[in-house]
Amino acid sequence: MARDFILALDQGTTSSRAILFDREGAVHGSCNAEFRQIYPQPGWVEHDPEDIWRTQCATAQRVLQEAGVAPRDVAAIGITNQRETALIWDRNTGEPIHNAIVWQCRRTTDICEQLIADGLTAAFRARTGLVLDAYFSGTKVKWLLDHVPGARKRAAKGELCFGTIDAWLLYKLTGKHATDPSNASRTLLYNIFEHRWDETLLNHLDVPPELLPGVMPTSCVFGETSVFGGSIPIGGMCGDQQSALFGQTAFGHLESKNTYGTGCFLLTNTGKTPVKSNHGLITTIAWDLGKGAEYALEGSVFIAGAVVQWLRDELRMIATAAESESVAAQVDDTGGVYVVPAFVGLGAPHWDMRARGIIVGLTRGSNRAHIVRAALESISFQTGDIIHSMESDTGASIPVLKVDGGAAANNLLMQHQANVLGIPVVRGQVTDTTALGAAFLAGLAVKIWPNQDALRGIWQEERTFTPVWNEDQRRQALSGWEHSIKMALLR
């Protein structure tokens, strides 16, 4: 059997997944394993790096076994990952010095606020395209160096490695310490315009350069691994949201996608030209295929699918995430109820680290279905805020939105999304687009596919949701949402 398969390792916030694709982009096997979420105190979120490695390795081995595919049949491995989660480990032993600090964690809010008070917002923005928020990796690195005994001294001696999850997996697979521009661009440490770790920013955060990984193109051979029983090249590494953009084959100017996962992440391709936002969005590197960086505008919703988990686990309003659609469909609308799920602050375009969640518009007639529907609709309203900001920044209308991720399977939510935006929402046949993007990137590196045009021929539409609201309905709904957001921002 020829090397006809690509193995995608999709390391997410709550689970590790492995998916096996063939040359036609068809899925030949998928395996998923959840791992422990650690909450040391309110607002703090951690992962055990060994849990991440164990589950990711186990899912990969299992999917190969169940598909009857030997390592010699795998042309390459593509890695995609939760991006801003940060960890530091011993360069020689591979032993983490602390749990990984997850992108959702708010422990570094005070560090960000001090940097803002010191007048450094513009300096970081001008070099990284990012805002000073606890979401990003740089302040997490500073916290680890400040709080783990001896870490700063060991880092300066070159004894430690910092990485986002892609770099951790690469190290475990190959022993190499490297990342790609899509992940580096999320650290608050990498100059996305000059394509280097930025000394000025490293000094502001007191991070020794000896700690940092090398930066290689998103699609290239990073090294080879024999962990799965035979030598397989690692052909691509990409942050999960940029990988989803690539998997949606959104290669052209203003082509856009939204991924509905734990959070919600909307990216618009701006090509070789970085667009600086005046509306609270971030400028990020989409990928580098070895011919220079391509850029995207991004808006991040911190709580998307997580609001459905909240309904299930904390409020006990639904038994399963899938039940949210049938319960919400029991009513024609929310009866004026709005949920603003600012459980860990608000992301784009508001960027308020201290905002908190609220439910507004309750009456005596409000019931479970109204609240469940309002929670689902909060996801599409937050997405609407980002789309409108992107259109203002680019000076152009976004004509269509491609969607993927777990909640994209919810037809009621997708129809509401189309209604809120007033544009078609298109769902592809493969909803695991993050993993598909990782496979595409790895496959390009080892010549499974000759170019991006070949990838466009693989992507297939499954369903298009067309708006049914008129302008008055849309204006009224958005007005209620804007009022609710203002209330969440009060403190």
CATH topology of domain 5-239: Nucleotidyltransferase; domain 5 (3.30.420)
Residue 327's nearest CA partner among 343, 314, 311 is 311
**How much is the pLDDT for 147?**
97
**How much is the pLDDT for 476?**
95
Enumerate residue ranges in the chain where pLDDT < 70: 1-2, 490-491
Residue 434's nearest CA partner among 51, 165, 105 is 165
**How much is the pLDDT for 60?**
96
**How much is the pLDDT for 491?**
57
**How much is the pLDDT for 430?**
83
Task: Check if the beta carbon of residue 354 is closer than 8 Å to that of residue 490.
Answer: no
Domain ranges in the chain are 5-239
